[in-house]
Structure formats: C-alpha cells, structure tokens
Amino acid sequence: MHPKEFWRRVSDGLEIGELWRRFRADALASYSLYNREVDWSPFPGERPGQRFLRIAHLRFWAMLMKLSPPRRILLLISLVALVGAIAGAEVCMLLSTCCLLVLLALELADRVVMKRDLEIARDIQSWLVPATPPEIPGYDMAFATVPANTVSGDYYDAFPRQVAGETSPRLHVVVADVAGKSVPAALLMATFEASLHTLAYTLPELSDLVAGLNRYACAHSLEGRRFTTAFLADIAPASGELRYINAGHNVPILRRASGELERLEAGGLPLGIRGDAHYDCGATTLGPGDLLAIFTDGVVDAENAQGQEYDEPQLLALCQRSGGRAAADILAELMASVSAFVGDAPRHDDLTCLILRRSD
C-alpha cells in the first residue's frame, strides 16, 4: 500500500490540526475521568516529591481498577515484563508487547460493541423527537440539540394539542432535561416522552398534564435523584395566547418586538422531587415579532478550557440583537457562539435550544 493511501486510511482523511484537536479533547476527557478519584489536597508535612508519587500511585490505581480483574493481571504482567526488558532480558520485551497487544485488542472489542449499541440507542432516540418543526402559519420555529455523549438526557417537542373548550388545537411546546447524562438519562428521557404523549391527549388542562407527569416521574426518579426539569407551554396560534408551566427549568427568554426582555418563571419544583408538588400556571401573549428562547443548562453552563461558563449575559445579548431574523439563523448563531466559547474543552452536559418567533 502506498504511504499516502495508508495515511489517508488510518487518519480518515483528517488534517493534522483536526487530528490534534480530537486527540486533545479525548486526552482532557480521560484526564478528568481519572482525576475524579485523586485527592489533590496536600497532606500535612508532605514534601513535593512525596505528593507527586502519591498522586501518580492514585492515578495508576484509578486506571487499573477500570479494567476487569483478568485484564488487570494482564496489564501488571506486561509492566513487570517491561521492567525485565529494561534490565536487558529480550524475551521480557516480547512478553510485554504481546500482553499489551492482547489487552488493547480486548478493550477495542468492548469499545466497538459499546459504540454500536450506543449508535443504535442514538438512532432510536432520534425517532422520539421531531426531525423538523411543525408548520404553523404565522410562526417560525427552530430547534437543535448537542449531546455531551452519544445519547442525550435532553428532550424537546412541538405538536398540536386539543385544549378543553377550544375548537382549534393549541401548539404544545416542551423542552426538558433529565438530571445526569448519557445512557441513564436517555432512558428516563424516553419514559418522559412516552408519558407526555400519553397524558397530553387525555388531560387537556396544562396543570393536570404537569401534575400527571410529576406523579409518573416520582415513581421512577430513585427517590428524587433522577429528577427532570421541564418547560411546557400551550400556544393559541391565532391569538398568540401562551399558557406555561416552568418545572424547575432554566427560565426561558421572551424578547418582545420592542426589544424588552421578559422571563417566564411561573411553575414549581422539578418533576420527580415531590408527588404532591403544586405548579402555578403562567400566562402571556406572543405579539407579532416576539421571540421565545427555551434552553437547557447545557447552554448557559457550557465551560471552556479555563473553567469559565458561557452564562446568561451572553445569551441575553444574543436574543437582544436578534431583531426580525429567522429562528433558524438565531439558533445557528447561538450554537456557533457556544461552540466557539467551549473550544476543545470536553462538554459536561447536553445542550438543547428551541427558538420560536411569531411573524411580524
């Protein structure tokens, strides 16, 4: 095989800069994983050399204990053999290399199987959320999500829902965030989606719907440890009347056509904390040119490599200058702004945002 073809195949055609960026992101994520089990605080009377050896020892054990018992033994054999090879025993070098290659092959096999399962889970999860916004005359909507891992604990949806006493259906909009991330949060997100769609057509009142979701969440929240924050709203398209409940979620931003900013706070506790929780229902009206931004904490809590958070002032400023632009353009600017701020730093939480704008 020609060297250029070999390199293209190995690197998937990626440029050196992109390869380095991905390696750096993986290295930072691994560094954070192992450092969680390291006590960095200096011991009384501990000299710098002693502290270095203690931390190195703790990191080694943190890595070793991530392996299964047989693989731990295999790694230890390879390290002992490596010491022998340094001492001049050539057979030890061969033994160390073989053990490390076998260990690498076993770990790669696990990773491939896990990656395949996660990709299937990601595909299933994508079926649970709309691929495109519903077409509502007089309204412009866009949404996007970026999981911290392969699958996400964030949820968003928009669909017509019949409300008691009204002839025309309302637009039901929801953005939710299950505590945690990855597979456990994704599984609870799926149960939230199922319960929402079941209750949405049997409980016409928004307060009853949220109370039903809360009871279901309490039964599956591991005594409140797996709670869910959510913002749910029913919108009458013709009049723009909006009824909403904020269940412990990040407070959405409502930008009026005049440039004034409002926050939609009425509601109560996150779902799954207390079965008898009370939820206040808020109400407002979306006028022509008004814009509503609903987001999860993955937006405002996004961190860069220096540990700084994106925070709400930047988001508020972006909404303030949104003017009469299309929802998709505003969303694209927001996602690009967060991505540029985070850079190569690993993402610590799922990121989701829904932009809804009433036409002028």
Nearest to 33 by CA among 351, 348, 349: 348
pLDDT for the residue 121: 75
Q: Where are the beta strands (DSSP E) in the chain?
A: 139-146, 154-161, 170-178, 228-235, 241-247, 253-255, 261-263, 267-268, 282-285, 291-295, 351-358
Helix H, strand E, coil C: the string for 187-227 is HHHHHHHHHHHHHHCCCCCHHHHHHHHHHHHHHCCCCCCCC
Q: Can you spell out the DSSP letters for 25-53?
A: HHHHHHHHHHHTT---SPPTT--HHHHHH
pLDDT for the residue 281: 93
Question: To 10 degrees, what angle do helices 69-86 and 90-127 make?
Answer: 140
pLDDT for the residue 222: 65
Euclidean distance between CA atoms 106 and 88, whole angstroms: 29
Euclidean distance between CA atoms 246 and 110, whole angstroms: 41
> How many residues belong to the chain?
360
pLDDT band at 36 (very low <50, low <70, confident <90, very high): confident
Nearest to 172 by CA among 242, 99, 122: 242
Residue 267 has pLDDT above 80, yes or no: yes
- Chain segment 109-168, per-residue pLDDT in tens: 888 887 787 777 777 777 778 888 888 888 999 999 888 777 778 889 999 887 766 778
pLDDT for the residue 224: 58
Most confident segment among 31-35, 43-47, 285-289: 285-289
Nearest to 265 by CA among 234, 294, 301: 294
Between residues 185 and 224, the one the model is more confident about: 185
Euclidean distance between CA atoms 70 and 64, whole angstroms: 11
- Chain segment 323-359, per-residue pLDDT in tens: 778 889 999 988 888 888 887 777 778 889 999 999 8
- Chain segment 181-203, per-residue pLDDT in tens: 777 777 888 888 888 888 888 88
Return the DSSP state at 303. Answer: B
pLDDT band at 35 (very low <50, low <70, confident <90, very high): confident
Query: CA geometry: angle at 180 spanning 220 and 172, to 5°?
Result: 70
pLDDT for the residue 12: 77
What is the arithmetic mean of pLDDT over 298-305?
81
Helix (H, G, I), strand (E, B) or coil at 135: coil
pLDDT band at 249 (very low <50, low <70, confident <90, very high): very high
Query: CA geometry: angle at 358 spanning 355 and 360, to 5°?
Result: 135
Euclidean distance between CA atoms 173 and 161, whole angstroms: 10
Residue 277 has pLDDT above 80, yes or no: yes
Q: Judge contact between 216 and 178, C-beta under 8 A.
A: no
Task: Give the β-pairing of 267-268 and 241-247.
Answer: parallel
Mean pLDDT of the chain: 84
Domains of the chain, each with CATH number or no CATH: 3-124 (no CATH), 130-358 (3.60.40.10)
pLDDT band at 223 (very low <50, low <70, confident <90, very high): low
